[in-house]
Structures are given as structure tokens and as C-alpha cells.
Amino acid sequence: MLIDKWIESRIKVYAFVGPSGTGKSYRAQMVANENGIKYIIDDGLLIKENEVIAGVSAKKAPTKIETVKGALFLDSTKAEEIKKAFRKYRPESLLILGTSDNMITKIRENLELPELTKTIYITDVATEQEMEEAKRMRQTEGKHVIPVPTFEIKKDFSGYILDPLQIFKSKGKDEKPYISEKSIIRPTFSYLGNYTISDGVLKDIIEHIASKVDAIYKIHRTRIEKTSTGVYIYIEIILVYGFNIITSLQNFKKKCIKEIENLTAMNVEKVQILARGIQKPEQGEK
């Protein structure tokens, strides 16, 4: 039984099909835009235009088998989250990405969606050369594309390698060009190996930032705590006498968050800073 009579009567379901690594996610937003579709399902995520609104990316799974399960919504809890989003947002049309017609059917059945309105194949929108280049990128660099901007998924891929990718496509002299941003990640199961960032690296970054702030005499202590969603940072500092304490702490906090996220692609969940002492020019530490 379909999840909602409204969905049965109103929603139009489209499929975008192509073998793994041929560039589907790269072109997903473009295909959706050309067909007037605002919602996309790709590897476990429900995306509205450039925003992830439900789901967990299957690319975060530790193995390829778990990735397939996540992409097919075999977990009833994850499937229910997507169905709940359908009831909330009531999409009029939806684009489902899959590696085969059979995969699309399984996703559609697990999410209780109606029959397809149209199927679009990767060969309809990409040349053989473009698909081969996409495969080369997947096989040699282990990179996958998610059709949302980097800042939208950083909280879900803290510590992964994230690269923004802008796409510009001219649609003719008098037509407005298509411009979109995607995100490239290396999943945990990439055969190139896992990527980890030690606490020492984060502490070195913080020390470097502090060395360039006139209001900070030195870092007294730093504590790093990593979680699946990001990193928590606790810093104790010695300030230089004569600077506004509140303003100095606020500015240092902003710089730490910005630099750590830019340099490591980690999502900074929280930064707590304690002014432990003040260094006067003519005295030792207090």
C-alpha cells in the first residue's frame, strides 16, 4: 500500500540510471533541473534542490555491502525517515538515482512510491568519453560525488576528504547557463585507504593561529574530543595584558573554527575557550 493517497495521485517519479562511476551524481542536479524536479534520492539521501533534508549517505558505510543496503533503504527505520519527509514536504516530482532498472524498482518499492513516469539513462546526457573519465576518477582516485554543496554535508562527513566541485554548462546564447556545486568525497571503504587526522595536527593548527594573535601570550592547554559528527575543542589561554578579554576570545574562537574546517574538512561542533591568566609586560605569568 502506498504511504499516502496524495503521493499516489500527485507525485511523479523519475529514474536516472547508469552504471556505478559513470557520473550520475555529477549530473543529477542538471537532469532534475531540466525536468522541473526539485527532489532527488541518491545513495540514501533525500535532497531538495541544494539541501539534504533526510537520510544518511550510504557512502558513509564501512563496507560496500552496507553501502548497497543503505542505498536500497533495506533498513525500515531509514526508509521510514524518508517517507516521513515525503509526508512533510509533499514533493510533486522526484528523481531516483540507481545503477540499474532493478535497483530503481527496489528503492521505489521500499519507499512505497508509485510507478515511474520516465526513465533517463546516463547515455542520454553524457558522452562515452565523459563516462570513461568519470570511471577513471572513481578507480584511480577513489572519489565519489554527492549532488549537494560541500557545506551542506560537512557535518555528515567530518574528517573525510571533501572537495567542492562547480559545474558550469552553457545552454545557448539567449539561455541562462546552468551553474551548480557538488561535493567530492572519499568513502571509508575506498581501497586507497582511510584518512585520519591526529589530535596533534589540530593542536598545531591552534598553536599557529594563536601565534598570530597579538592578544594571546600563549596556549596553556588544549583538549580535543572527536565524535562521529565532528570535533569538540577545549582551549586554555594566557592573554596579554591590555586587550579586551571578551573580544579577544570571540575573535580567536572564530579563527580556530574557520581554519580547522578549511584545513581538515572536519566539522567543528564546539569550541570552548578559558582565559586562564594574563601576562603583564613587566611580570611573569599570573
Residue 6 one-letter amino acid: W
Q: Are 138 and 151 in contact (CB under 8 A)?
A: no
Ordered by where they begin, the domains of the chain are 5-185 (no CATH), 199-279 (3.30.70.1350)
Which has the higher per-residue pLDDT, 140 or 194?
A: 140
Spatial separation of the C-alpha atoms in residues 114 and 206, rounded to whole Å: 53
Report DSSP letters for 130-191, one per residue. Answer: HHHHHHHHHHHH--EEESS-HHHHGGGSTTS-EEEEEEEE---TTSPPEEEEEEEE--TT-T
Say whether pLDDT at 255 is over 80.
yes
Name the region of 75 (left: φ>0; alpha: ψ -120 to 50; beta: rest).
beta
> How, if at all, do strands 216-226 and 231-240 pair?
antiparallel
The single-letter code of the amino acid at 245 is: I
Separation of alpha carbons 260 and 268, rounded Å: 8
**In 3D, which of 160, 144, 186 has the Cα closest to residue 42?**
144
Band of residue 258 on the pLDDT scale cut at 50, 70, 90: confident
Q: Which of 16, 6, 20, 214 is nearest to 119 (CA)?
A: 16
Q: Averaged over 86-110, what is the pLDDT? A: 93
The cell for 45 is: 539521501
pLDDT category of residue 27 using cuts at 50, 70 and 90: confident
Question: Could you give the C-alpha distances from 18 to 22, 26, 30, 118, 246, in angstroms and in order?
Answer: 7, 12, 15, 14, 55
| pLDDT surpasses 70 at 9 | no
Q: What is the pLDDT of residue 73?
A: 93
Percent pLDDT > 90 in the chain is 43
The residue length of the chain stands at 286
Work out whether the CA dihedral 139, 161, 188, 40 comes out positive or negative. Answer: negative
CA 2 to each of CA 52, 78, 128: distance values in angstroms, whole numbers, following the listed order:
23, 17, 38
Q: From CA 286, how far away is CA 279, in angstroms rounded?
A: 7
Question: What SS3 state is found at 271?
Answer: strand
pLDDT tens digits, residue range 157-206?
A: 555 444 444 444 444 545 554 444 444 444 444 444 445 677 888 899 99
